[in-house]
Chain A
Amino acid sequence: ETGVTQSPTHLIKTRGQQVTLRCSSQSGHNTVSWYQQALGQGPQFIFQYYREEENGRGNFPPRFSGLQFPNYSSELNVNALELDDSALYLCASSSRDRGRGYTFGSGTRLTVV
Protein backbone atom coordinates (compact mmCIF):
# COMPACT_ATOMS: atom_id res chain seq x y z
CA GLU A 1 0.00 0.00 0.00
CA THR A 2 1.24 3.51 -0.74
CA GLY A 3 1.98 5.94 2.05
CA VAL A 4 1.15 9.61 2.39
CA THR A 5 2.83 11.82 -0.20
CA GLN A 6 3.22 15.57 0.14
CA SER A 7 4.40 18.16 -2.36
CA PRO A 8 6.41 20.22 -2.65
CA THR A 9 9.02 19.23 -0.06
CA HIS A 10 10.35 22.76 0.33
CA LEU A 11 8.96 26.15 -0.56
CA ILE A 12 10.03 29.77 -0.10
CA LYS A 13 7.38 32.48 -0.34
CA THR A 14 7.26 36.21 0.28
CA ARG A 15 5.09 37.76 2.97
CA GLY A 16 1.62 38.52 1.59
CA GLN A 17 1.71 35.80 -1.05
CA GLN A 18 -0.52 32.75 -1.25
CA VAL A 19 0.56 29.11 -1.16
CA THR A 20 -1.01 25.74 -1.97
CA LEU A 21 0.32 22.52 -0.49
CA ARG A 22 -0.77 19.09 -1.67
CA CYS A 23 -1.26 15.71 -0.07
CA SER A 24 -2.10 12.25 -1.38
CA SER A 25 -3.58 10.04 1.29
CA GLN A 26 -2.61 6.46 2.02
CA SER A 27 -4.50 3.82 0.12
CA GLY A 28 -7.67 2.85 1.99
CA HIS A 29 -7.80 6.07 4.02
CA ASN A 30 -10.71 8.48 3.64
CA THR A 31 -9.83 11.24 6.07
CA VAL A 32 -7.09 13.83 5.81
CA SER A 33 -5.83 16.11 8.57
CA TRP A 34 -3.36 18.97 8.31
CA TYR A 35 -0.92 20.00 11.02
CA GLN A 36 1.52 22.86 11.42
CA GLN A 37 4.79 22.14 13.19
CA ALA A 38 6.93 25.08 14.22
CA LEU A 39 10.59 24.45 14.87
CA GLY A 40 11.16 22.64 18.15
CA GLN A 41 7.46 22.07 18.82
CA GLY A 42 4.88 19.38 18.37
CA PRO A 43 2.43 19.44 15.47
CA GLN A 44 -0.66 21.63 15.90
CA PHE A 45 -3.98 20.61 14.35
CA ILE A 46 -5.18 22.92 11.58
CA PHE A 47 -8.24 21.08 10.22
CA GLN A 48 -9.56 17.77 9.02
CA TYR A 49 -11.42 16.75 5.87
CA TYR A 50 -13.83 13.88 5.45
CA ARG A 51 -16.13 13.30 2.48
CA GLU A 52 -14.78 16.45 0.87
CA GLU A 53 -15.94 18.67 3.71
CA GLU A 54 -14.12 20.34 6.59
CA ASN A 55 -14.83 18.22 9.62
CA GLY A 56 -13.26 20.22 12.43
CA ARG A 57 -10.80 23.05 12.81
CA GLY A 58 -8.08 24.05 15.22
CA ASN A 59 -7.16 27.55 16.33
CA PHE A 60 -6.15 28.87 12.91
CA PRO A 61 -7.52 31.94 11.07
CA PRO A 62 -9.77 31.71 7.98
CA ARG A 63 -6.84 32.47 5.67
CA PHE A 64 -5.97 28.80 6.21
CA SER A 65 -8.34 26.82 4.01
CA GLY A 66 -8.42 23.45 2.37
CA LEU A 67 -10.01 21.05 -0.03
CA GLN A 68 -10.48 17.33 -0.28
CA PHE A 69 -11.05 15.65 -3.62
CA PRO A 70 -13.07 12.52 -4.53
CA ASN A 71 -9.88 10.43 -4.50
CA TYR A 72 -9.31 11.61 -0.88
CA SER A 73 -6.27 13.73 -1.76
CA SER A 74 -6.21 17.18 -0.24
CA GLU A 75 -4.86 20.71 -0.53
CA LEU A 76 -3.97 23.25 2.11
CA ASN A 77 -4.17 26.89 1.04
CA VAL A 78 -2.75 29.77 3.00
CA ASN A 79 -3.50 33.34 1.94
CA ALA A 80 -1.73 36.55 2.95
CA LEU A 81 1.32 34.71 4.24
CA GLU A 82 2.94 35.98 7.42
CA LEU A 83 6.45 35.37 8.69
CA ASP A 84 5.05 33.23 11.52
CA ASP A 85 3.57 30.86 8.95
CA SER A 86 7.07 29.50 8.40
CA ALA A 87 6.86 25.89 9.57
CA LEU A 88 6.69 22.26 8.53
CA TYR A 89 3.21 21.45 7.28
CA LEU A 90 2.21 17.85 7.79
CA CYS A 91 -0.59 15.90 6.27
CA ALA A 92 -1.97 12.82 8.01
CA SER A 93 -4.41 10.37 6.54
CA SER A 94 -6.60 7.97 8.44
CA SER A 95 -9.64 5.79 8.05
CA ARG A 96 -12.60 7.11 9.94
CA ASP A 97 -14.21 3.69 9.75
CA ARG A 98 -11.32 1.96 11.53
CA GLY A 99 -10.97 4.72 14.13
CA ARG A 100 -7.23 4.38 14.53
CA GLY A 101 -3.98 4.68 12.68
CA TYR A 102 -2.85 8.11 11.51
CA THR A 103 -0.15 8.02 8.85
CA PHE A 104 1.89 11.16 8.33
CA GLY A 105 3.66 12.36 5.24
CA SER A 106 7.16 13.83 5.32
CA GLY A 107 5.79 17.35 5.22
CA THR A 108 6.34 20.54 3.30
CA ARG A 109 8.87 22.97 4.75
CA LEU A 110 7.48 26.47 4.14
CA THR A 111 9.69 29.49 4.65
CA VAL A 112 8.13 32.95 4.47
CA VAL A 113 10.56 35.82 3.93
Chain B
Amino acid sequence: GESVGLHLPTLSVQEGDNSIINCAYSNSASDYFIWYKQESGKGPQFIIDIRSNMDKRQGQRVTVLLNKTVKHLSLQIAATQPGDSAVYFCAERMASSGTASKLTFGTGTRLQVTL
Protein backbone atom coordinates (compact mmCIF):
# COMPACT_ATOMS: atom_id res chain seq x y z
CA GLY B 1 0.00 0.00 0.00
CA GLU B 2 0.95 3.64 0.02
CA SER B 3 3.51 4.62 2.60
CA VAL B 4 5.67 7.45 3.78
CA GLY B 5 9.40 6.91 3.60
CA LEU B 6 12.50 8.75 4.72
CA HIS B 7 15.75 9.21 2.81
CA LEU B 8 18.18 9.06 5.74
CA PRO B 9 17.87 6.76 8.72
CA THR B 10 20.46 8.65 10.83
CA LEU B 11 21.55 12.28 10.68
CA SER B 12 24.43 13.61 12.76
CA VAL B 13 24.86 17.38 13.12
CA GLN B 14 26.95 19.68 15.26
CA GLU B 15 25.32 21.82 17.88
CA GLY B 16 24.43 25.17 16.40
CA ASP B 17 24.23 23.93 12.83
CA ASN B 18 21.00 23.66 10.88
CA SER B 19 19.40 20.25 10.37
CA ILE B 20 17.38 19.11 7.40
CA ILE B 21 15.35 15.92 7.61
CA ASN B 22 13.74 14.68 4.41
CA CYS B 23 10.71 12.57 3.70
CA ALA B 24 9.19 11.17 0.51
CA TYR B 25 5.50 10.37 0.35
CA SER B 26 3.72 8.42 -2.33
CA ASN B 27 0.03 9.20 -1.86
CA SER B 28 -0.98 12.18 -3.97
CA ALA B 29 -4.38 12.19 -2.21
CA SER B 30 -2.80 13.16 1.12
CA ASP B 31 -4.04 16.54 2.29
CA TYR B 32 -2.22 17.03 5.57
CA PHE B 33 1.28 16.34 6.81
CA ILE B 34 2.78 16.36 10.29
CA TRP B 35 6.27 16.15 11.70
CA TYR B 36 6.67 14.41 15.05
CA LYS B 37 9.61 14.12 17.42
CA GLN B 38 9.89 10.98 19.51
CA GLU B 39 12.28 10.64 22.41
CA SER B 40 13.15 7.29 23.90
CA GLY B 41 10.28 5.82 25.92
CA LYS B 42 7.85 8.57 24.96
CA GLY B 43 5.06 9.04 22.49
CA PRO B 44 5.38 11.15 19.34
CA GLN B 45 5.38 14.87 20.08
CA PHE B 46 3.89 17.27 17.55
CA ILE B 47 6.40 19.66 15.98
CA ILE B 48 4.73 21.29 13.03
CA ASP B 49 2.11 20.54 10.40
CA ILE B 50 1.23 21.72 6.93
CA ARG B 51 -1.79 21.39 4.68
CA SER B 52 -1.43 20.37 1.07
CA ASN B 53 -2.53 23.82 -0.15
CA MET B 54 0.63 25.35 1.33
CA ASP B 55 4.30 24.90 0.41
CA LYS B 56 5.97 26.35 3.49
CA ARG B 57 5.17 26.86 7.14
CA GLN B 58 7.38 28.23 9.88
CA GLY B 59 7.37 27.70 13.60
CA GLN B 60 9.82 28.44 16.33
CA ARG B 61 13.22 27.29 14.96
CA VAL B 62 11.47 24.85 12.61
CA THR B 63 10.29 25.13 9.04
CA VAL B 64 8.40 22.56 6.98
CA LEU B 65 8.59 22.60 3.21
CA LEU B 66 6.20 20.71 0.98
CA ASN B 67 6.89 20.01 -2.67
CA LYS B 68 3.85 18.32 -4.14
CA THR B 69 5.39 18.06 -7.60
CA VAL B 70 7.97 15.55 -6.40
CA LYS B 71 6.02 14.42 -3.31
CA HIS B 72 8.68 15.57 -0.91
CA LEU B 73 8.50 16.94 2.61
CA SER B 74 11.33 18.35 4.68
CA LEU B 75 11.84 19.58 8.21
CA GLN B 76 14.44 22.24 8.84
CA ILE B 77 15.65 22.86 12.37
CA ALA B 78 17.66 26.03 12.89
CA ALA B 79 20.53 26.20 15.41
CA THR B 80 20.19 22.57 16.40
CA GLN B 81 20.50 21.93 20.12
CA PRO B 82 21.34 18.77 22.12
CA GLY B 83 17.69 18.62 23.18
CA ASP B 84 16.74 18.13 19.54
CA SER B 85 18.31 14.66 19.57
CA ALA B 86 15.48 12.22 18.93
CA VAL B 87 13.80 10.21 16.19
CA TYR B 88 11.77 12.31 13.78
CA PHE B 89 8.79 10.98 11.85
CA CYS B 90 6.84 12.49 9.06
CA ALA B 91 3.24 11.40 8.77
CA GLU B 92 0.65 11.91 6.05
CA ARG B 93 -3.09 11.84 6.16
CA MET B 94 -5.23 10.94 3.20
CA ALA B 95 -8.17 13.24 2.65
CA SER B 96 -11.12 11.53 4.31
CA SER B 97 -14.73 11.46 3.33
CA GLY B 98 -16.45 10.47 6.51
CA THR B 99 -14.22 7.51 7.23
CA ALA B 100 -11.14 7.21 9.40
CA SER B 101 -8.49 9.82 8.77
CA LYS B 102 -5.52 7.68 9.67
CA LEU B 103 -1.95 8.83 9.73
CA THR B 104 0.65 6.88 7.77
CA PHE B 105 4.13 7.09 9.23
CA GLY B 106 7.56 6.38 7.87
CA THR B 107 10.23 4.48 9.77
CA GLY B 108 11.86 7.62 11.16
CA THR B 109 15.17 9.47 11.08
CA ARG B 110 17.39 9.55 14.11
CA LEU B 111 18.92 12.98 14.69
CA GLN B 112 22.13 12.97 16.71
CA VAL B 113 23.46 16.33 17.88
CA THR B 114 27.15 16.39 18.63
CA LEU B 115 28.84 18.99 20.83
A42-B106, A42-B107, A102-B34 known; A57 vs B100 contact (CB < 8 Å): yes
**C-alpha spacing A56/B104, complex, angstroms:** 13
The answer to whether B49 and A100 have CB atoms under 8 Å apart is: yes
Counting contact residues on chain A (CB < 8 A from B), the size range is 20 to 34
Among A40, A42, A90, A101, which residue has its beta carbon within 8 angstroms of that of B43?
Answer: A90
**C-alpha spacing A88/B49, complex, angstroms:** 24
Counting contact residues on chain B (CB < 8 A from A), the size range is 20 to 34
Chain B residue contacts of A47, Cβ below 8 A: 100
Among A96, A102, A106, which residue has its beta carbon within 8 angstroms of that of B46?
Answer: A102
Chain B residue contacts of A40, Cβ below 8 A: 107
Per-residue B-contact encoding for A67-98, CB less than 8 Å = 1, 0 else: 00000000000000000000000101010100
Per-residue B-contact encoding for A17-53, CB less than 8 Å = 1, 0 else: 0000000000000000101000011111101101000
Interface membership of B57, Cβ < 8 A? no
Chain A residue contacts of B42, Cβ below 8 A: 106-107
The answer to whether B102 and A106 have CB atoms under 8 Å apart is: no
Q: Closest A-chain residue to B42, C-beta based?
A: A106
Interface membership of A58, Cβ < 8 A? yes
